[in-house]
Chains A and B, each alone.
Chain A
Amino acid sequence: MEGTEMEERYRKLGIRDALSRHCDYSHACTDLNSILRCAYIKLPKNLQALVFQDTLAAFRLLPQTSSGISSAKLLIRAAEAVLPKQRRVLALSEFKQAAVAHKRGSKAPQYTQGIVQLPHDLLVEIFHSLDLTSLVTVSRVSWAWNSAAKDGALWKLLYSVFFGKSNSCFQNDEPLISKSFENVCALELKDSAYPNWREIFKINFLARPLYSAATRIFCGGCSEVIWINRFTCNNKHQCSNNLGSPKMQPILSQKVVSYLTDDKLWPTLLSDSDNDNSDNSDDESSPWLPRLWTYPNYT
């Protein structure tokens, strides 16, 4: 009984899909890390097999980026520490294959020369399907891309996806950290005929640190767990329950393990009492501090 529930929750975490998306690869690896280190021993047999399969998939899907290879290295260390002998050997061989392929890929000579200039509108079109992190990264690449990434319509659309009235990614009735943010926002909107949507978005986003640090949100309406990076301009969350404005809760990466193992946690989550009985002791007021040196010890 418990086992199937846990499996259900694990499936909802959507790690396998996230691994195949470059923007979420590192986050998914981090989640796998914490699950392996903290919860693997306590999981039922079939769930252990699932986790192991996902670990192998992580190595097979290694993207050709520098952040990818470092996440994979952390993952293999966790796997080596936790997995039984046979699985450990398999994981190690997968990792080695992936690492070799990665090295070969990064050394491949650039035989395609020449710059292809993409027009401004086309760049904006491409950026419509980018997630938030990549959109900000892209504005640091070159001047042409920077000007395309600042497109007002793009950020207006993104604003409505994240903070819009209905079906929004973030709760919009959460009190902002300070009134001054709200005032600046209102001013920005009223002041000019062409409000700077990127600034408005930035203010709103930075005013909610809990959401900025989260990797997933939990939709109270359809009780689905969704990766934040899946929200792009082209992709909003259509809540299947069709409630007016469903209550959204951010899930930080540290909470993933407690989500998985603690049966009592999630039904009570919506009533705002976050009873954290696990060892993931972190301050609610500073959720973005990463745990640098230690993983919690489940005894």
Chain B
Amino acid sequence: MSESEMALTKSEAMKSYIWLQTVDGSIQQVEEEVAMFCPMICRERLQTSMGSSKNYAISLPERVNPAVLSLILDYCRFHQVQGRSNKERKTFDEKFIKIETKRLCELTSAADNLQLKPLVDLTSRALARKIEGKTPEEIRETFHLPDDLTEEEKLEPLRNTTDDPRIRLLNRLYARKRKELKERQKLKDTLDVEEEKVDDRSVDDLLSFINGNDSDLKEGVKGRPNAEGSSHCELTTKNKKKNKRRKDRPEVPSSNSHKDVTKDEAMVATNFSKKIEIQEPFEDFDMYDELDPAMKEELDREVEDFARRLNSDWPERMKEIFSLSQDRSSIPSSLNGNGSFGRCAGNGM
């Protein structure tokens, strides 16, 4: 190896150089035979006879920045020497592609621009090896790609081929928001685990309270306390989840240690949001998967009922709830006559 290197240095004095200019303006001086290994440079040299001096440097295409250019020149320098065995070339190649992914991508596109086919093949195969066997999420992490498919990626055939950038951006935002909501839900789930029992009870009371005492309600409500009571657990969890998927949800107070009835009421109340639309069906798919169809329909009906009722009487009901809860928190003893409230107050304090 050292002998050939010495021979190289001896003949360097006789070599001719080519001047290459990258897109950022910096000019490099490269041995001619090394640079001629690239077909594009070769062609430029022969056709336009540029590159013989500093002023007339061959300008390289856009994607070739100086760092990548030096890598490419290393590759050319190694491979243009005739006397290397296949095994040597192979080992060089394998070491050559052990670079970080971003650099590898840059190298691939630069090699493609310079039409250096063997290097393109080498880097493409290396990238393919980095892709295979991974899930889409892992691939996105490795290559820093945006998740701009969302609901389309769930459906197998991609029908519309419009490349509207606004749609792409919107999908990206949806994906990000969904991730945030999922994380928030995970956080909530870990905190909510201890409090499930309390929540159920207070919601039960809340519902009976709404049904029993609120005079603004329509008639249908009073006749259905049982149905609501029986399914209140599912409704609670269901609506909690629904809550988490709403994008314009106000931040649920994270002070879960408080087991306050007010907080629970506020939470349930906000669940039936200002405008409950049974919108974005694909968001609700995951939720519905856990309930069987019969239950599903019943819950659907009930949710819609609640939504209708709450939407119509929202301001009055909110006032009622908050005023009563304030009374309750300040004078717990006065409500002891009513067993349920006493229970609630006991749990709340």
Contacts and interface: CB of A to CB of B under 8 A. Distances in A.
B101 A112 contact: yes
Contact of B102 (A116, A129, A150): A116
B132 A21 contact: yes
Contact of A137 (B125, B139, B143): B139
B312 to A, nearest CB: 42
Interface string B251-280: 000000000000000000000000000000
Nearest to B167: A143
B102 A112 contact: yes
Nearest to B138: A65
A67 B148 contact: no
A150 B112 CA distance: 21
A66 B102 contact: no
A122 B143 CA distance: 15
B133 A22 contact: yes
Contacts of B125: 129
Nearest to B130: A22
B129 A115 contact: no
Contacts of A122: 108-109, 112, 120, 124
Interface residues of A, number: 42
Contacts of B144: 110, 112-116
A278 interface: no
B92 to A, nearest CB: 20
Contacts of A93: none
B139 A138 contact: yes
Interface string B288-323: 000000000000000000000000000000000000
Interface string A11-54: 00000000001111110000000000000000000000000000
B112 A67 contact: no
A118 interface: yes
Contacts of A142: 140, 145-149
Nearest to A129: B128
Residue among A114, A115, A140 with max Cβ neighbours from chain B (10 Å)? A140
B105 A112 contact: no
A190 to B, nearest CB: 20
Residue among A26, A126, A139, A144 with max Cβ neighbours from chain B (10 Å)? A126
B135 to A, nearest CB: 7
Interface of A: 21-26, 63, 65-68, 110, 112-116, 118-119, 121-122, 125-131, 134, 137-147, 150, 199
Given A115-B146, A143-B168, A146-B152, 13 more contacts: A22-B129, A22-B133, A67-B133, A112-B101, A116-B105, A119-B112, A125-B120, A130-B132, A134-B132, A137-B139, A141-B149, A145-B145, A146-B149
30 contacts: A21-B132, A22-B129, A23-B133, A65-B134, A66-B135, A110-B141, A113-B144, A114-B102, A114-B144, A116-B102, A116-B143, A118-B105, A119-B109, A119-B112, A122-B124, A126-B108, A128-B124, A129-B125, A129-B128, A130-B128, A134-B128, A134-B133, A137-B134, A140-B149, A140-B153, A141-B136, A141-B140, A142-B145, A143-B168, A146-B153
